[in-house]
Structure formats: structure tokens, C-alpha cells
Copies of this chain bind each other. A is one copy, B any other.
Amino acid sequence: MKRYQALADTMAAEIRAGRLPVGTRLPSVRHLTTQYGVGQSTVFRAYYLLEEWGLIRARERSGYYVAPGAALAPKENATLKEPAPIDVSSLVFSVLDAVKRPDVAPLGSAFPSPTLFPLARLAKSLAHAARMLDPWSTVVDMPPGNEALRRQIALRYIGMGIAQPVEELIVTNGAMEALTLCLMAVTKPGDVVAIESPCFYAALQAVEHLGLRAVEIPVDSREGLDLDALAEALGTHPVRACWFMTNFQNPTGVTLSVEKKRALVDLLTKHDVPLIEDDVYGELHFAQDRPPPAKAFDTKGLVMHCASLSKTLAPGYRLGWVAAGRYADAIRRLKLMTSISTSIPIQAGIADYLQHGGFDKHLRKLRGALLTQRDAMESAIARWLPNVAFVRPDGGYFLWLQLPEHVDAMQLHRRALEHGINVTPGPIFSARHAYGNYVRINFGHPWSAQIDNAMKTLGELLRAAS
């Protein structure tokens, strides 16, 4: 290890342990050169590295300061049981900003490979729809959205055994917008919401930027959400909404059983608390049948079921929706207020594809590819990382790897990035930066020498860290 790396690691440990609180001004370069007996360039390179890691920030003509979100709470007692505001965004972005780099092995990506999707066939539908576009559809297809599209989406709910009224379906810019609008519709700043732990980091960010407070409900990698803990939270705190991922949860991959989904909806109905159900991976099942969403057991319109085509059909098109139950009108209005409408040609193009493009055939192919890739990834792990543990997921494209107890996932993430490999460190999946010895890896990319090499290198880095 180079001297500047060692210096950066030393300082990172100080910051992450909370010994240098957020906003602390770091020692001057001159001071450090004396203290550690190193050259100025070593100090500068260490600072650049810390900045790249998102732990410190430069202020013009004033030096370096500890960045918000840089400090990690101790791992003991790391589930947020008392409602608290969240500050995780800086940490998340320092990790996510690496995703775009084309030279980096995409094990940290949130998406499957874009090469797995029928982009040419989609282009045909989009071209047709744009050519045929009725100018007045630019007005008529504003929220709740294109009628033909919403009828196609309602048909897919029938396939899940859900009679979904078309008028409660609101088209959005992907599921992310749907989830954000749902959260805005049922909360105001300062309210308490229940989220999962580990939790999709975007939910943490949404809670943070809407000024909400969160309680975390533990998610077990085999059993899923802890309903007893949820019942206790509902009894203790004024929870205004829950945001849960019921199928192939991100990051654990776990799916709630039908019984637990039913019990979840019953519990929330008893407390009259709405559920924002994030179900973006449900179609990516490896078993015969699609697992139903909790929405299937909702009789009171209390579940807002959010989904999209970004991970199943059309990455980058930004086409999602919410089956919003009793909140449909509030969400339609929020959508109008914040982004007016989802792109009209995109809505029409996707409607055309769903009618004529062969979605189900594509989905079967996609599921097959992901299953093959899961198995390849499992073999690579058995070969290169024999000392990690995980529960095999039955769908989606994530593995939630438990590293040996003493391994620091943040450090592994940074070391891996220096080797052109991106893995997602566990701490960004929790408000308290828990899961310090977990990483999430993505098997959504066709197996390749690049990925196999990346796994091999990861194994070496892990051995070096052990």
C-alpha cells in the first residue's frame, strides 16, 4: 500500500468512527507533513482520495472539512427504533457516482444489463406511436395518463388476480417518481414513516429530502419483514406510512410469503396506515408464478402499488405507475404539480408495445437469462469468495453477501473501485450505516471474462482484508 493510501485509511477510520464530527476542519497540509513525516504531495493525494470517497469536502480558500454523512454510527444496536431524521445522501452519492464509469465492472449497478432488453422492437413501437400521435393527446394523456396504456397495465393486474380499476392507475416517470409522490401524498415534513432495514437507499434518500423521520423494521434474508417489530412500531409511534418492498427485496432478495403479505395488509388495515408497496422486481421471478403483491390482499384501497418497466422491459424510457387506491386523486394532482405529465410519445409507444410487442415472451427470455447469470455468479463465488454467506434469491438480480465479521465493506468498496470494480457497500442500505460487513452485488449482466476477473480480484481483496 502506498503512503498516501495508508494516510487516507488512517484518517478515514477517524472520520467514520465519528472522532472527527461533520463540519470539522481538517489539519492543514503543512501540519500533517510535520505530524506524519511525509511530503506535501502525499498529504494532497490522501486528501484527494478522501474527497473521492465522499468523506471530506473542499471549501474554496478555506481548506477541507468532514462531509455530512461521512461518520458511521457504531454497528451495535444499529436499527433505528426511535424515529429520527436521516442523513445518508452524501454517502449514497459517493458510491453511486462510480456507476457511470464505463471501465468499471458493473457489480454495483442498480440495473440489469441494458443489452437484455428488446430495444429495437421498442424503437419500432415508439416510432409508430410518435408518427400516429394525435396532437390533442398532448392534452388528453396528461395525468392520470394514456388510456390505452392504463388498460394494458390493468390487464397485467388481472393476470395477478387483481381487479384493478383503470381510474386508480396513474402513469409516472418510472417507479421512483411514483414512490416519491405516494410518500408526499400521505405525509408532511416531520411525520414518521416505517422503512425496512436493510432498505433500498433511495427510500432513505426520499425520507431525508422530504424532511420525514423514519423507524426501521428489520428484514431477515430468509423470512423478510419482521411483522412483530412492525406491530410494535405501529403501537408505539405515530407511523403515517410504510414503504416496503414485498418481492425480491433490494438488497436482500427476499420475498414475503402469501401469508405474511396477508398479515401485513391486515395489520396496516387495523391501524389504518397506508402501504407504499415498491414492487419493481416482481416480474423477475425464477419459479413458475409471479409472486402476488400485498396489493392483492387490500380491500380498503390502503395499498399504493408502485411498479415500472425500467427493470423488465424498457430501461431509460422512464415509464412507471402506481395503482393508488384511495389516494389516486391526491397523487394525480401532485403529479400535475411537480412534473405535469409523463412523456406522451413514450406513453403511446409503450402502449403500442404492450399490445403488439410480445412482452410475455420477452419476460420469459429475460427471466431465463437472469437465472443463468445467478447460477454463474454462485459458481464464481464458490470459487473465488468461498468465505462469504448469502441466501439464494428466487428472482431479481441482486446477491446480498455477508463478508467475514471483521471485514469493512466501505473499505472493500473503495479498494475494489481502485481496481475498476464497483460493489455496493452495506452501510448505504441503512439509516445508521449498519451492515458494515455486507456488500450487494449485481448479477444482471451476461457472464463475461470482465465479470469473472472482477470476482477473482474481489476474492483477493477480501483475503487481503481478512
Chain A residues within CB distance 8 Å of chain B? 89, 93, 96, 99-100, 102, 109, 111, 113-115, 117, 119-120, 122-123, 126-127, 130-131, 133, 135-142, 173-174, 176-177, 180, 184, 188-190, 202, 205-206, 209, 211, 310, 315-319, 333-334, 336-346
Contacts and interface: CB of A to CB of B under 8 A. Distances in A.
A205 B339 CA distance: 12
B135 A127 contact: no
Contacts of A342: 173, 318
A136 B111 CA distance: 11
A111 to B, nearest CB: 7
Given A114-B139, A120-B131, A209-B334, 20 more contacts: A89-B333, A100-B139, A102-B140, A119-B130, A137-B316, A139-B316, A173-B339, A173-B343, A174-B339, A174-B341, A177-B338, A180-B337, A180-B339, A202-B337, A205-B337, A206-B337, A317-B345, A318-B341, A318-B343, A339-B339
A346 B133 CA distance: 15
A349 to B, nearest CB: 8
Given A177-B339, A189-B189, A316-B141, A136 B114 contact: yes
A87 to B, nearest CB: 13
Contacts of A111: 138-139
Q: Give the dominant DSSP class at A's interface.
A: helix
A59 to B, nearest CB: 13
A41 B196 CA distance: 52
A115 B138 CA distance: 10
7 shortest A-B CB distances, which residue pairs?
A138-B316, A127-B127, A316-B344, A123-B130, A114-B135, A189-B189, A138-B315
A117 B117 CA distance: 32
A310 B139 CA distance: 12
A337 B86 CA distance: 14
Contacts of A137: 316
B114 A123 contact: no
Nearest to A111: B139
Contacts of A339: 173-174, 176-177, 180, 318, 339
A28 B117 CA distance: 59
Contacts of A340: 173-174, 176, 310, 318
17 contacts: A89-B333, A119-B135, A122-B130, A123-B345, A126-B126, A126-B127, A127-B127, A138-B316, A173-B173, A173-B343, A174-B340, A174-B341, A176-B337, A180-B339, A316-B344, A319-B343, A345-B346
Nearest to A122: B130
Contacts of A206: 337-338
